[in-house]
Amino acid sequence: MESRSGRRRPALLFGAAALASAAQGAYGVFAGLDPSAGLLAVGLPWAGLAFYAVAAALAARRPDSAWVPRAAASAAAVHATLLMELLIDRRFCAGCVGVAVFGGAAAAAVALGRRETGGSVAAAVALGAVVGSLSPVDAVDGVATRWLWPSRILARAPEFVDRAALAGCEHGSGVRVLIYEKDCKG
């Protein structure tokens, strides 16, 4: 039989992941995001806060619920995807890694506490890593940003591109193509 502290561990770790997500979201708001950050970079910490807060509450109030291992496997898959993509792109995000550590620890605590879910969590990590090798986050971020936050695309243009050339077009067209050569600076 599992100890009482062992039954609380997933709830505490899910709660820590929620706090880490909130800290990452607050940092983005108060410190300002990188101009190349898209819609997912802005919204993902807040979605993580909501997900982990619900998972923490569920794990605390109903630790035997079938939804706790599902939340653990979901967290494991998502973080494996994000971390694999960060590794492939050679980027480092301290906030992403921090949330992944707590989310992964919560998933491991659930898997250790419920032996029958260990395989599901391990499979979620493996499949998440495979999916992450395809860089889905950047692809989804680009599409979501173009559809829902098109002005953010202009912020992604390199510094040497004339902002006045980007801003206006006398034709009133819905689509505008600008081509520039990086080395030419013209």
Predicted structure pTM score: 0.69
Would you list the domain boundaries of the chain? 4-144
Instruction: Give the Cβ contact number of residue 23 at 10 Å.
Output: 15
Model pLDDT for residues 102-159, shown as the tens digit of each residue: 998 999 889 888 888 888 888 888 888 888 787 766 667 766 676 666 666 666 667 7
Would you state the structure tokens that stand for residue 33, as one six-digit string?
């995001």
Token match 């912020």: residue? 155
Q: What is the pLDDT of residue 179?
A: 64
- pLDDT classification of 1: cutoffs 50, 70, 90: very low
pLDDT higher for 85 or 165? 85
Q: What is the pLDDT of residue 156?
A: 64
CB 33 within 8 A of CB 41: yes
Q: What is the pLDDT of residue 43?
A: 81
Measure the CA–CA gap between 95 and 20, rounded to whole angstroms.
7
Q: What is the pLDDT of residue 28?
A: 80
pLDDT higher for 91 or 173? 91
CB 21 within 8 A of CB 101: no
CB proximity list for 183: less than 8 A, separation 6 or greater: none
Q: What is the pLDDT of residue 27?
A: 85
Which CATH fold would you assign to the domain 4-144? Answer: de novo design (two linked rop proteins) (1.20.1440)
Model pLDDT for residues 5-42, shown as the tens digit of each residue: 556 889 999 999 999 999 988 888 787 665 456 666 77
Measure the CA–CA gap between 186 and 166, rounded to whole angstroms.
13
- pLDDT value at 100 more than 50: yes
